Amino acid sequence: MSPAEAVAALVGRVSRQVRGKPAVVELAVVCVLAGGHLLLEDVPGVGKTTLGNALARAIGGSFRRIQFTSDLLPADIVGFSVVDQGRVAFRQGPIFANVVLADEINRTTPRTQSALLEAMNEATVSVDGVTHPLPEPFLVIATQNPHEYHGTWPLPDSQLDRFLVRTAMGYPDRDAERDVLRGASRLAAAEGAVLDAASVLELRAATAAILVHADVEDAVLDLVASTRTAPSLARGVSTRGAEALLRAVRARALLLGRTFAIPEDVRALAVPVLAHRVLARAETGVDAGGTAIRELLAGLRPVA
């Protein structure tokens, strides 16, 4: 199976369980291919857990869900050391899975939120001076409700920057919701994997090999530079944000069956990859960053 066929199989398998959300499924697969993490901001009950479970099943990987609460401790996530029969043994936390759903991540303290930083950046966790590798591939899907802030701790910028993509699930259309009511998603959940861990790592290598011409690099650099001088933004996109956008662009090209990226990939991914990395001077709503990025895209010179 070619890389393009493998990606198509992955998208198709997840879409059978996550009904009526092709754009969200494709962004989730972009994260898998690019080795990034996904932040979902939406109300409860729209399929965020289903998406994580479907991704894990499709790649034949393990799935763990962590409910973040105000009394959750870092050790509850990464694990801890215990003395067992006179020997120190490490007990793995739920972070040791291929796909980890960090549910309502903003309901726990910044100290506990920070327990994810090393895992998301290095795919390792350190406990008592010992570094433990996480399973490969490794993907964090975090969720938060953008309309309910009572008793929450907003994610700091350093944590937000670790998410490759931020998006929302949204409500399904009528036909998709009818399929859910009839149990189609539950039937799809019983289907087997279409890939394995080794195949995912091969797809990541294929993603890294996607050809990026200078015109695509110029599109990224022009957009990033515009965020740093825009009057509507107090903070623009960092170099790490530019690198994240280029990784996502390569992943989208592979997802669409190409061996090369095009400027349209940059425009398609600019908002989900960059909106959470900028700071609007005057907050005009939950998507102030996205509004600013869209305005900048409209004002950029077209790249052939």
Q: What is the spatial distance between Cα 131 and Cα 275, in angstroms, rounded to a whole number?
A: 33
CA atoms within 13 A on the CB side of 227: 28
Residues 139, 29 contacting (CB under 8 angstroms): no
User: What was the pLDDT predicted at 301?
Assistant: 67
Q: Are 246 and 36 in contact (CB under 8 A)?
A: no
Angle between helices 3-17 and 197-208 (to 10 degrees): 120
| Structural element, H or E, at residue 19 | none
Q: Could you tell me if 176 and 46 are in contact, meaning their C-beta atoms sit under 8 angstroms apart?
A: no
Asked, colleague to colleague, whether 3-199 and 210-299 share their fold, the answer is no
d(CA 168, CA 251): 19
Domain 210-299: CATH class, spelled out: mainly alpha
Alpha-helix runs per DSSP H in the chain = 3-17, 22-34, 48-58, 74-78, 110-113, 115-122, 157-160, 174-181, 184-189, 197-208, 214-229, 239-255, 263-274, 288-299
Residue 24's nearest CA partner among 173, 190, 243, 244 is 173
Look at residue 39 in the predicted model and tell me its pLDDT: 96
Exposure string of 259-282, with b = 16+ CB inside 10 Å and e = fewer, is eebbbebbbbbbbbbbbbbbebee
pLDDT of residue 53: 93
Query: Which DSSP state fits 185?
Result: H
- For 296: left if phi > 0, alpha if psi spans -120 to 50, otherwise beta; the answer is alpha
Instruction: Give me the pLDDT at residue 284, please.
Output: 57
Q: What's 163's DSSP letter?
A: -
Digitized pLDDT (tens) for each residue of the chain, 304 residues in all: 899 999 999 999 999 889 889 999 999 999 999 999 999 998 877 788 999 999 999 999 999 999 999 999 999 999 988 887 778 888 999 999 999 999 999 999 988 998 899 999 999 999 888 899 999 999 999 999 877 777 788 888 888 999 999 999 888 888 888 888 887 777 666 678 899 999 999 999 999 999 999 999 999 999 999 999 999 888 999 999 999 999 999 999 999 999 999 999 999 999 999 999 998 886 656 677 888 899 999 877 665 5
Domain 3-199 part of CATH 3.40.50.720: no
Whole-angstrom Cα distance, residue 231 to residue 214?
28
Q: Please state whether the predicted TM-score (pTM) of the whole model is above 0.75.
A: yes
213 three-class SS: coil
Q: Which pLDDT does position 166 carry in this prediction? A: 96
Report the distance separating Cα 5 and Cα 165, nearest Å: 23
How many Å apart are CA 223 and CA 226, to the nearest integer?
5
pLDDT of residue 289: 85
Helix, strand and coil content of the chain, in percent to the nearest 5, comes to 50, 15, 35
Q: Give the residue extent of every domain in the chain.
A: 3-199, 210-299
Per-residue pLDDT at 175: 86
Beta-carbon neighbour count of residue 147 at 10 Å?
Answer: 9
